[in-house]
C-alpha cells in the first residue's frame, strides 16, 4: 500500500484506503466507515469508537463485561480493542455483509474465530429477535453505504436488545446526526429502556453515542466517573477523560450520572 492517495483494495462494494499510517474502510464511497492506525491496531482511532467504550466506566469490578454482542463489524476496531483489553470477554459479532468480514480479515487484522470470538453472518435485528443468549454489553454500529440503519434504530429492535441484556447489562449505539438528528432515536431508546438512556456529547464528526442501562441502576458521582476514566486510561491507553469532562459540563459539574 505505497500510494497514500489511491484506493488500495476492493471487495465487491467494500473499499480500503491508506493515508498517513491510517487504514480506512469505505462502503463504495469516500465516506469513512472505520479506521485502524497500522502501528497501533488495538487503539481506537475514531472518536466515536472511543465513546462506544463509555459503558466500561459504568460497570466496575467482576471482570465486566464477560459477554459482548457487536452488531456491525466495520473495520473491526471495537472487536480488536476488546480482544486485547478484555481477554475474558466472549464476543459475538453479527455482520450482514460477508465482504465486510473478508476485508476486515485481510486489511484490518480481525482476529481469528475462537472461543473468544464468534462471527455470525446475519441481520442484526433478526439476530436479537431470535437469540436466547444474554450479554453484558451490546454495541450497535450498523450502517449501509448511504448511512441507513434499517431496523437497527426501531423500538422493536431496542426492546429486543433489552431482553438480551444481563442483570448488569449496558448498550451503546452509534448514531449519525447529519440527516435527522437523534431526537427520534433517543425517544425510542428511552421508551425501550424505561428512560434509562443518555446521549454523550456530540463528536467532532457529528456522531452521537447513546448509552443505555438494563438491570442494576447506574448512579456514579462525577468525580468517581473521572477516576474510572483515569484508571481505564492507565490500563488500556483509552482516554475518555475529554468525554467525561464534556458530559459533566452538560450534566452539571457536581451532578451524578444516573441511568
Any idea which residues carry the catalytic annotation?
141
Return the residue matching grid coordinates 465516506.
Answer: 31
Residues in the chain: 259
Diameter over CA atoms, the chain:
51
Integer Cα distance of 259 and 256 in angstroms? 10
Helix (H) or strand (E) segment spanning residue 199? strand 197-199
Q: In 3D, which of 229, 177, 231 has the Cα closest to residue 207?
A: 177
Integer Cα distance of 12 and 241 in angstroms? 39
Q: What are the residues facing 27 on neighbouring strands?
A: 14
* Alpha helices by DSSP H, 87-238: 98-107, 124-130, 155-164, 183-192, 222-236
CB-CB contact of 164 with 134 (8 Å): yes
Helix (H) or strand (E) segment spanning residue 247? helix 241-251
Sequence-separated contacts (24+) of 190-196 with Cβ below 8 Å: 191/155, 191/158, 192/155, 192/158, 192/159, 192/161, 192/162, 193/158, 193/162, 193/259, 196/259
Amino acid at each position: 500500500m505505497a500510494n497514500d492517495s489511491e484506493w488500495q483494495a476492493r471487495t465487491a462494494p467494500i473499499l480500503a484506503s491508506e493515508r498517513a499510517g491510517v487504514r480506512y474502510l469505505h462502503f463504495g464511497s469516500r465516506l469513512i466507515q472505520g479506521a485502524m492506525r497500522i502501528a497501533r491496531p488495538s487503539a481506537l482511532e475514531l472518536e466515536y469508537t472511543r465513546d462506544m467504550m463509555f459503558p466500561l466506566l459504568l460497570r466496575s469490578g467482576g471482570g465486566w463485561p464477560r459477554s459482548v454482542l457487536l452488531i456491525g463489524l466495520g473495520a473491526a476496531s471495537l472487536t480488536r480493542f476488546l480482544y486485547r483489553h478484555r481477554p475474558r470477554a466472549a464476543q459475538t459479532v453479527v455482520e450482514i455483509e460477508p465482504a465486510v468480514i473478508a476485508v476486515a480479515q485481510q486489511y484490518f487484522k480481525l482476529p481469528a474465530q475462537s472461543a473468544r470470538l464468534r462471527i455470525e453472518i446475519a441481520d442484526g435485528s433478526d439476530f436479537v429477535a431470535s437469540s436466547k443468549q444474554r450479554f453484558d454489553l451490546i454495541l450497535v454500529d450498523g450502517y449501509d453505504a448511504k448511512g441507513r440503519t434499517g431496523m437497527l434504530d426501531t423500538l422493536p429492535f431496542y426492546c429486543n436488545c433489552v431482553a438480551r441484556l444481563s442483570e448488569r447489562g449496558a448498550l451503546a449505539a452509534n448514531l449519525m446526526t447529519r440527516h435527522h438528528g437523534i431526537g427520534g432515536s433517543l425517544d425510542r431508546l428511552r421508551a425501550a429502556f424505561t428512560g434509562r438512556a443518555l446521549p454523550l456529547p456530540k463528536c467532532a464528526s457529528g456522531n452521537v453515542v447513546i448509552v443505555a442501562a438494563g438491570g442494576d441502576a447506574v448512579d456514579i458521582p462525577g468525580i468517581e466517573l473521572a477516576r474510572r476514566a483515569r484508571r481505564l486510561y492507565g490500563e488500556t491507553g483509552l482516554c475518555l477523560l475529554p468525554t467525561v469532562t464534556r458530559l459533566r459540563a452538560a450534566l452539571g459539574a457536581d451532578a451524578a450520572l444516573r441511568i
